[in-house]
């Protein structure tokens, strides 16, 4: 009888524990509304921030980030910068190993610098690096051409370290698609990748030098938002990485967890500085002709966005000076006065003319900003300008050269991450950059910030840049969209204040999967 | 053509009313359901749907009527030329028509529209010049049938030119069939124009029933689909049904006349 009782007890215990075991054994399932992000290797993932983020689950960099986004030891356990700022000495973490079991050494890191100089990787720039040398297996020395105040939080955080024994023989890394290409040193190894389904299975590296990851497996699946919400409610998935913010309230009402944050990826109006808007007064006039608050209310209602700060850095950025930037409030009368002072005049129908000819502004954008573009066009027409709006394919828009056939361009730009990249976003020639030269003061402030000897001096120069940007208006910042993620409670998620790694607005940085 | 007057009348009324309409501007009343302020609701940027329909009607009608007229006219000219030209030129015209028929017109339309994002002035030639070849063989058969009749032979033997014969004898005889072709073309180009707008390949600031339907696509899973999608879809359906009714009625009346 006691034997039977014992068997019954054991059976009951097994039955009760089964769901717990199944839950722990189940991978953490993350949904992504976009399809395939490419193979999770530096030269093979698609060129967007989320694909880069997934790649960092597999590949570690020399410097990592903690949950607040601050620099933290990565493959380099410690580092020192010389007094002149031109030499960085890094001590590698001796516990780090590649997914095939070989140790990660300073030689791998030095190889990566040399390899990426020969095969540029779009998410980092090495033009200021004079060289990287392995002084021993543990000691890496990086030499710079000029001081870079953002070396640690910028380059060393962004650069994924490659295994020399895998990549040394590869002359065309973008065509190296064998599974070995995803041999990294990150907390997860790529177990399977289904390109057709856009599905990734990642397995934890239990002896990872930063500690065993919290989940033994991660699964990333492509799922449309509506299906993802139903699946999260049913417990079939654990995280919706990109919840449409207008659905957030409904998801919360179902008892699920939602985290939100301003993305810092701002929708802006970029000016053609080689056209009429090369004049600062006209940029300021246009800013006051537009009703930015109305644009926000119409295109990002119910908290889907916030009014963007005009001084480049957005609320929540650690680089932003806590001051009130000029908001350029909607004031058609002042705007009209400024236009008139620049030789514009209104005809009998209220239409603006210059040199006797009606003024038609050429506004270009792509489909993703169609609503903002239409509202801006409406407001400009209401103010008296003719507007020629063209929504172009992204590739066609990217091909529009500086000084091309447009007056205004609506685009989204990242203002997050280390400020070392700001110069390229303001003075660079890329389609989404401001393409601004001005009188050189902004470029000088950014260069001074880059070469600043101390963090305090860097911050002072960045604050000067913020004030200049809000006055000069290389671009007019419109909306700071809010992003949201949802989860069922298996994991605690938060957005990093200034974006993850290279400034990616996400709540699923790999630090969320690692022990504190 | 008996189908012309009612359609032209509708177009004239909608064109005449357009200057009286307020501008179709965005507002803060985003996705408002139908109510007293907005009888058919508002769209994702707060534009009034009823007002949008009124703005879109003349554009849609004008594109349909003008592009169909262009297609029918070019087809008739090509068929007339082929009927009266020497065999070599006739063969060249017909081979060109064959080549165009092999190439799907919709593909050409999509290709050109994706680059040009045409407005009203661009849509009419684009739709007209990608539709004409479908009518050439039928028009040629009609012309040749009528050109073989005795009245044309008599006229020719009395010294009348081919252009005179086409104008005075052939065209009046084939007018009912041309009317049917025209109506068919209106239906076809209207649907194609709506399709281009639905795919977002026309000028984004050109209101049309197709572009209004395209705006509804982002809201298919929300209650807003009913007031965003149904009004333009019903307007397009109603217009096509009216065209069908006119097409059925017109030849009989012409024949009776």
ipTM of the complex: 0.77
Q: Cβ contact (<8 Å) for B117 and A367? A: no
Closest CB from A226, A375, A390 relative to B221: A226
Helix runs in A161-279, H state only: 164-167, 225-233, 248-253
Confidence check: pLDDT of B188 > 90: no
Burial tier of B238 (Cβ tally within 10 Å: 0-12, 13-18, 19+): exposed
List Cβ neighbours of B57 (8 Å cut-off, separation of 6 or more).
B14, B209, B235
The full DSSP string for A27-54 is PEEEEESS---B-SSTTTB-SSHHHHHH
* A24 interfacial to chain B (CB closer than 8 Å): no
- Digit-by-digit pLDDT tens for chain A (516 residues) are 455 556 565 555 554 444 444 455 789 999 999 889 999 999 999 999 999 999 999 999 999 999 989 999 999 999 999 999 999 999 999 999 999 999 999 999 999 999 999 999 999 999 999 999 999 999 999 999 999 999 999 999 999 999 999 999 999 999 999 999 999 999 999 999 999 999 999 999 999 999 999 999 999 999 999 899 999 999 999 999 999 998 999 999 999 999 999 999 999 999 999 999 999 999 999 999 999 999 999 999 989 999 999 999 999 999 999 888 899 999 999 999 999 999 999 998 999 999 999 999 999 999 899 999 999 999 999 999 999 999 888 888 999 999 999 999 999 999 999 999 899 999 999 999 999 999 999 999 999 999 999 999 999 999 999 999 999 999 999 999 999 999 999 999 999 989 999 999 999 999 999 987
Residue B20 corresponds to which tokens in the numbers above? Answer: 């009286």
Residues of B within 8 A of A371 (CB-CB) are 44-45
Identify the bridge partners of residue A481 per DSSP, sorted by sequence position: A305
3-state secondary structure A256-314: CEEEEEECCEEEEEEECCCCHHHCHHHHHHHHHHCCHHHHHHHHCCCCCEEECCCCCCC
Residues of B within 8 A of A251 (CB-CB) are none
pLDDT score recorded for residue B198: 79
Closest CB from A298, A387, A389 relative to B26: A298
Residues of A within 8 A of B44 (CB-CB) are 371
Residue B149 corresponds to which tokens in the numbers above? Answer: 């009749």
Q: Cβ contact (<8 Å) for A371 and B46? A: no
Residue B213 corresponds to which tokens in the numbers above? Answer: 């339907």
pLDDT score recorded for residue A10: 53
Residue B23 corresponds to which tokens in the numbers above? Answer: 């501008």
Closest CB from B27, B45, B114 relative to A371: B45
Q: Kindly report the CA angle at A42 between A38 and A43, in degrees rounded to 5? A: 75
Radius of gyration of chain A (CA): 26
Taking the CB of residue A319, how many other CB atoms lie within 10 A of it? 21
Q: Are strands A360-366 and A352-354 parallel, antiparallel or unpaired?
A: unpaired
CATH of segment(s) B45-256: 1.10.3720.10
Helix (H, G, I), strand (E, B) or coil at A184: coil
Alpha-carbon gap: A305 to the closest alpha carbon of chain B (Å): 14
Q: Cβ contact (<8 Å) for A297 and B204? A: no
pLDDT score recorded for residue A373: 97
Closest CB from A298, A381, A391 relative to B30: A298
Cβ–Cβ pairs < 8 A, chains A and B: 43
Q: Are strands A408-414 and A360-366 parallel, antiparallel or unpaired?
A: parallel
Confidence of residue B118 (pLDDT cuts 50, 70, 90): confident
B-facing residues of A in 309-328 (CB < 8 A) are none
Closest chain B residue to A387 measured between Cα atoms? Answer: B205
- Indicate the average pLDDT of chain B: 87
Interface of B with A (CB under 8 A): 23, 25-28, 30, 44-46, 114, 117, 200, 203-205, 221
Q: What is the distance between the alpha carbons of residues B126 and A214, in angstroms, rounded to a whole number?
A: 60
Under a CB-based contact definition with an 8 Å cutoff, are residues A445 and A311 in contact?
no
User: Nearest to residue B211, comparing CAs of B220, B219, B221, B200?
Assistant: B200
Closest chain B residue to A396 measured between Cα atoms? Answer: B115
Q: Cβ contact (<8 Å) for A378 and B200? A: no
User: Nearest to residue B234, comparing CAs of B194, B184, B178?
Assistant: B194
Q: What is the distance between the alpha carbons of residues A211 and A516, in angstroms, rounded to a whole number?
A: 9
Radius of gyration of chain B (CA): 22
pLDDT score recorded for residue B36: 93
3-state secondary structure chain B: CCCHHHHHHHHHHHHHHHHHCCCCCCCCCCCCCCCCCCCCCECCCCCEHHHHHHHHHHHHHHHHHHHHHHHHHHHHHHHHHHHHCCHHHHHHHHHHHHHHHHCCHHHHHHHHHHHHCCCHHHHHHHHHHCCCHHHHHHHHHHHHHHHCCHHHHHHHHCCCCHHHHHHHHHHHHHHHHHHHHHHHHHHHHHHHHHHHHHCCCCCCCCCCHHHHHHHHHHHCCCCCHHHHHHHHHHHHHHHHHHHHHHHHHHHHHHHHC
Sign of CA dihedral B181, B182, B183, B187: positive
Q: Cβ contact (<8 Å) for A389 and B23? A: no
For residue range B44-76, what is the model confidence (pLDDT) as tens digits? Answer: 999 999 999 999 999 988 999 999 999 999 999
Under a CB-based contact definition with an 8 Å cutoff, are residues A449 and A419 in contact?
yes
Closest CB from B28, B200, B221 relative to A297: B28
Residues of A within 8 A of B204 (CB-CB) are 370, 373-374, 389-391
Q: What is the distance between the alpha carbons of residues A436 and A274, in angstroms, rounded to a whole number?
A: 9
Alpha-carbon gap: B65 to the closest alpha carbon of chain A (Å): 25
B-facing residues of A in 367-396 (CB < 8 A) are 367, 370-371, 373-375, 377-378, 381-382, 387, 389-393
Query: To which residue do tokens 């298919």 refer?
Result: B220
Q: Cβ contact (<8 Å) for A301 and B23? A: no
Closest chain A residue to B32 measured between Cα atoms? Answer: A298
Q: Cβ contact (<8 Å) for B204 and A370? A: yes
List Cβ neighbours of B163 (8 Å cut-off, separation of 6 or more).
none
- List own/partner pairs for B244-251 with CB under 8 A and 24 or more apart: B244/B187, B246/B2, B246/B3, B246/B6, B246/B7, B246/B183, B247/B3, B247/B179, B247/B180, B247/B183, B247/B184, B247/B187, B249/B2, B250/B1, B250/B2, B250/B3, B250/B176, B250/B179, B250/B180, B250/B183, B251/B176, B251/B177, B251/B179, B251/B180
pLDDT score recorded for residue B257: 38
**For testing contact with chain A, the best of B24, B111, B204 (most A CBs within 10 A):** B204
Identify the bridge partners of residue A500 per DSSP, sorted by sequence position: A504
Q: Cβ contact (<8 Å) for A298 and B46? A: yes
pLDDT score recorded for residue B4: 65
Residues of B within 8 A of A382 (CB-CB) are 23, 25
Helix runs in A393-485, H state only: 394-398, 422-427, 441-450, 455-472
Q: Cβ contact (<8 Å) for A390 and B117? A: yes
Q: Cβ contact (<8 Å) for A294 and B28? A: yes
Closest CB from B45, B203, B204 relative to A299: B45
pLDDT score recorded for residue A1: 46
**B244 vs A125, higher pLDDT:** A125
Q: Cβ contact (<8 Å) for B204 and A374? A: yes
Identity of the highest mean pLDDT range in A14-18, A485-489, B134-138, B170-174? A485-489
For residue range B142-154, what is the model confidence (pLDDT) as tens digits? Answer: 998 988 888 888 8
Alpha-carbon gap: B109 to the closest alpha carbon of chain A (Å): 16
Residues of B within 8 A of A375 (CB-CB) are 26, 45
Confidence check: pLDDT of B251 > 70: no
Structural domains of chain A sorted by starting position, each given as residue range(s) with its CATH number in brackets: 28-246+488-513 (3.40.190.10), 265-482 (3.10.105.10)
CB-side neighbour CA atoms (13 Å) of A279: 10
């Amino acid at each position: 009888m006691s034997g039977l009782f014992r068997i019954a007890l054991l059976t009951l215990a097994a039955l009760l524990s089964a769901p717990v075991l199944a839950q722990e054994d189940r991978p953490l399932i993350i949904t992504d509304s976009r399809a395939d992000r490419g193979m999770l290797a530096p030269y093979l993932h698609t060129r967007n921030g989320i694909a880069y983020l997934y790649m960092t689950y597999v590949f570690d960099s020399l410097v990592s980030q903690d949950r607040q986004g601050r620099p933290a030891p990565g493959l380099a356990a410690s580092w020192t910068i010389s007094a002149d700022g031109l030499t960085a000495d890094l001590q590698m973490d001796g516990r780090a190993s590649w997914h095939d079991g070989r140790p990660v050494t300073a030689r791998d890191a030095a190889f990566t610098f040399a390899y990426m100089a020969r095969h540029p990787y779009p998410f980092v720039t090495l033009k200021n690096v004079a060289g990287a040398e392995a002084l021993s297996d543990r000691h890496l020395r990086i030499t710079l051409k000029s001081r870079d105040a953002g070396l640690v939080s910028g380059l060393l955080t962004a650069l994924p370290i490659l295994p020399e024994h895998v990549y040394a023989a590869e002359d065309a890394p973008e065509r190296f698609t064998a599974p070995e290409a995803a041999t990294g040193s990150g907390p997860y190894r790529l177990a399977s990748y289904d390109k057709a389904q856009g599905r990734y299975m990642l397995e934890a590296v239990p002896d990872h030098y930063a500690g065993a990851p919290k989940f033994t497996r991660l699964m990333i699946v492509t799922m449309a938002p509506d299906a993802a919400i139903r699946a999260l409610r049913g417990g079939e998935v654990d995280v919706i990485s990109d919840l449409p913010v207008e659905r957030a309230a409904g998801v919360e009402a179902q008892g699920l967890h939602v985290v939100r944050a301003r993305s810092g990826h701002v929708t802006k109006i970029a000016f053609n500085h080689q056209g009429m808007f090369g004049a600062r007064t006209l940029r300021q006039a246009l800013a006051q002709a537009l009703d930015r608050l109305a644009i926000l209310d119409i295109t990002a209602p119910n908290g889907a966005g916030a009014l963007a700060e005009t001084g480049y850095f957005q609320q929540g950025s650690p680089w932003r000076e806590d001051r009130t930037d000029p908001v350029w409030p909607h004031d058609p009368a002042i705007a009209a006065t400024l236009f008139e002072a620049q030789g514009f005049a209104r005809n009998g129908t209220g239409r603006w003319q210059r040199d006797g000819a009606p003024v038609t502004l050429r506004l270009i954008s792509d489909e993703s900003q169609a609503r903002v573009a239409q509202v801006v066009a409406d407001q400009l027409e209401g103010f008296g300008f003719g507007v020629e709006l063209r929504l172009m394919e992204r590739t066609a828009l990217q091909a529009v050269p500086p000084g091309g056939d447009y007056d205004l361009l609506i685009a989204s730009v990242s203002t997050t991450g280390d400020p070392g990249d700001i110069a390229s976003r303001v003075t660079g020639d890329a389609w989404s950059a401001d393409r601004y030269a001005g009188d050189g003061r902004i470029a000088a402030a950014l260069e001074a910030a880059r070469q600043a000897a101390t963090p305090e001096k860097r911050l002072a120069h960045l604050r000067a840049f913020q004030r200049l940007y809000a006055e000069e208006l290389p671009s007019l910042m419109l909306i700071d969209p809010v992003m949201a993620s949802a989860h069922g409670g298996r994991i605690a998620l938060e957005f990093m204040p200034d974006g993850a790694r290279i400034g990616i607005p996400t709540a699923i940085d790999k630090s969320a999967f690692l022990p504190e | 053509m008996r189908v012309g007057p009612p359609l032209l009348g509708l177009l004239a009324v909608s064109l005449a009313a357009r200057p009286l309409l307020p501008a179709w501007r965005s507002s803060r009343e985003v996705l408002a359901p139908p109510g007293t302020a907005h009888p058919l609701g508002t769209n994702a940027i707060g534009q009034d749907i009823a007002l949008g329909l009124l703005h879109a009607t003349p554009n849609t009608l004008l594109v349909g009527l003008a592009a169909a007229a262009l297609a029918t006219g070019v087809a008739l000219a090509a068929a007339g030329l082929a009927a009266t030209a020497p065999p070599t030129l006739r063969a060249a015209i017909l081979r060109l028509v064959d080549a165009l028929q092999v190439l799907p017109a919709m593909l050409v339309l999509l290709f050109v529209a994706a680059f040009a994002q045409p407005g009203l002035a661009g849509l009419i030639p684009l739709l007209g010049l990608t539709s004409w070849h479908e009518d050439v063989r039928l028009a040629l058969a009609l012309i040749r049938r009528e050109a073989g009749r005795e009245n044309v032979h008599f006229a020719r033997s009395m010294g009348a030119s081919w252009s005179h014969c086409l104008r005075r004898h052939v065209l009046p005889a084939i007018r009912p069939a041309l009317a049917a072709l025209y109506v068919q073309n209106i239906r076809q180009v209207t649907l194609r124009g709506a399709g281009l707008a639905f795919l977002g390949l026309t000028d984004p600031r050109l209101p049309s029933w197709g572009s209004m339907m395209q705006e509804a696509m982002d809201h298919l899973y929300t209650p807003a689909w009913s007031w965003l999608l149904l009004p333009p879809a019903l307007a397009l359906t109603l217009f096509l049904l009216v065209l069908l009714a006119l097409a059925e009625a017109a030849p009989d009346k012409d024949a009776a006349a």
